[in-house]
Chains A and B, each alone.
Chain A
């Protein structure tokens, strides 16, 4: 079975600064997907960024980028130029390649942004 671990229950960052959220996972498979989801106080999970395991290039989406280390089974999220609206719970998630969207989630990291 796959497991996803987020070792930082809470993080804080100053507005306009950069913060990195950590995620490690365990799997015996070679093909899979990794995701970062954001959950603001509205409770709706919103996809931030996705990484395909077969791609060596790290995914980027505007101010969000990942550091994907497949051998180390590490998948961290970097948020640049942090904004007040980035404050939320962030969840790392794993999905097998051909298993629909049956996601395995980490425990989450609460990100606080200080003005």
Chain B
């Protein structure tokens, strides 16, 4: 496998469920990101793990919890979500702190909360 792989591709969950999204990168990068792409808003950065530090968007609700056990894997743990959390969740990776680097994206997980 190459690039950035996200699983599952699609997920339907009830508001009381707990689920996790997984992202794996095979590019040797040291930074990973979660972005949310919803129908009515621009892509929004949720969390960053870079050089073993975590940066988060303060507007992200606590029902989203990231985990980055190593530089190749990133998880997004979900619990008690709301229907407005239905969106495409994109994972990305990059090599930092090279200023000329670019972000490489996975194909996303389409999440539907019912």
Which residue numbers of A lie inside 8 Å of B, CB to CB?
4, 33, 35, 37, 42-47, 50, 91, 97-98, 100-108
- Whether B45 lies near A102 (C-beta < 8 A) is yes
Complex contact A91–B97 (CB within 8 A): no
Chain A residue with minimal CB distance to B44?
A105
**Interchain CB contact under 8 A, B108 and A101:** no
Q: Enumerate chain A residues within 8 angstroms of B105, measured Cβ to Cβ.
A: 37, 44-46
Asked if B108 and A103 make an inter-chain contact with CB atoms under 8 angstroms apart, the answer reads no
Q: With A and B bound together, what is the CA distance between A58 and B101 in angstroms?
A: 18
> A43-B108, A44-B108, A101-B96 are known contacts; what are 18 more A-B pairs with Cβ within 8 Å?
A33-B99, A35-B102, A42-B107, A43-B88, A43-B110, A44-B106, A45-B103, A45-B105, A46-B105, A47-B103, A50-B102, A91-B43, A97-B99, A100-B50, A100-B96, A102-B33, A103-B35, A103-B43
- Bound complex: CA of A41 vs CA of B107, how far in Å? 10
Chain A at the B interface: mostly helix, strand, loop or mixed? loop
- Kindly state the separation between the CA atoms of A7 and B102 in the bound complex, as whole angstroms: 25
A101-B97 contact given A4-B42, A43-B108, A44-B108, CB 8 Å threshold: no
Residue of B nearest to A35 (CB): B102
- Asked if A43 and B107 sit within 8 Å, CB to CB, the answer is yes
Q: Does B94 belong to the interface (CB within 8 Å)?
A: yes
15 A-B interface contacts by CB (under 8 A):
A4-B42, A33-B99, A44-B105, A44-B107, A44-B108, A45-B92, A45-B103, A47-B103, A101-B33, A101-B96, A101-B101, A102-B45, A103-B103, A105-B42, A105-B43
- Tell me whether B31 and A101 are in contact (CB under 8 A): yes
